[in-house]
Chains A and B, each alone.
Chain A
Amino acid sequence: MHHYQPQDILIERGEENAPVVRRVLQRLPQLPVRLVDRGSRPSTESLVDPFGAGKKTLLFTRNRSRFLEHCPAGTPGLVCCNYLVVSLISNCPMDCSYCFLQDYLANNPLLTVYTNVDDLLGELAAVVDRQPWKQFRIGTGELSDSLALDPLLGFSAELVPFFAQRDNVLLELKTKTDCVEGLLELDPQGRTVVSWTITPAEITEAEEHGTASFAERLDAARQVERAGYRLGFHFDPLIEYPDWQAGYGRTIERLFSAIDPRHVAWLSLGSLRLTPALRATMRRRFPHTRLLSGEQVRCADGKWRTFQPRRVKMYRTLSRWLRRAAPSVPVYMCMETAPVWEKVFGQAPGCDKDLAHTILSPSLTDPATIDAP
Chain B
Amino acid sequence: MPSTLPAVGLYAEQKRLSQATLARWRSWPTTDQQALLTVAQELRLGENHLRDFLDWLEEIVLRDGGSIAAVLQQPAVRRALKLGRSRNDKLKAVKDALRRLRYPEIARLEHELQTCVKALALGPQVRVAFPPAFEGDEVTLEVRVKSAKDLDAVVSRIRQRLTDGTFQRLFELLDEA
Contacts and interface: CB of A to CB of B under 8 A. Distances in A.
Contacts of B59: 292-293
B133 A297 contact: yes
Instruction: Give the interface size class of chain B.
Output: 20 to 34
Interface residues of A, number: 22
B62 A313 contact: no
B164 interface: no
B137 interface: yes
Given A290-B63, A293-B62, A312 B175 contact: yes
B109 interface: yes
Contact of A295 (B58, B105, B175, B176): B105
A245 interface: no
B170 interface: no
A313 B175 CA distance: 9
Contact of B177 (A299, A309, A316, A343): A309
Main SS class of interface, B? helix
A307 B62 contact: no
B177 A310 contact: yes
A359 B75 CA distance: 52
Contact of B105 (A293, A298, A307): A307
A312 B137 CA distance: 12
A297 B136 CA distance: 12
A313 B177 contact: yes
Interface string B133-171: 111110000000000000000000000000000000000
Contacts of A250: none
A308 B177 CA distance: 9
Contact of B135 (A292, A299, A316, A342): A299
Nearest to B174: A309
Contact of B176 (A290, A299, A313, A342): A313
A307 B60 contact: no
A308 B103 CA distance: 13
Given A308-B134, A342-B137, A297 B106 contact: yes
A300 interface: yes
Contacts of A339: 136-137
A290 B64 CA distance: 10
A301 to B, nearest CB: 10
A288 B134 CA distance: 28
Interface string A276-314: 000000010000111011010111100000011110110
Nearest to B64: A293
B111 to A, nearest CB: 14
Contacts of B134: 297, 307-309
Nearest to A304: B133
Contacts of A299: 133, 135
Nearest to A310: B177
Given A290-B62, A307-B177, A310-B177, A295 B135 contact: no
A295 B103 contact: yes
Contacts of A309: 109, 134, 173-177
Contacts of B103: 295, 307
9 contacts: A293-B60, A295-B104, A300-B136, A307-B103, A307-B106, A308-B133, A309-B177, A310-B177, A343-B175
Interface of B: 24, 58-60, 62-63, 103-106, 109, 133-137, 173-177
| A-B residue pairs, 8 tightest by C-beta | A309-B177, A297-B133, A293-B63, A339-B137, A293-B59, A293-B62, A295-B105, A308-B134
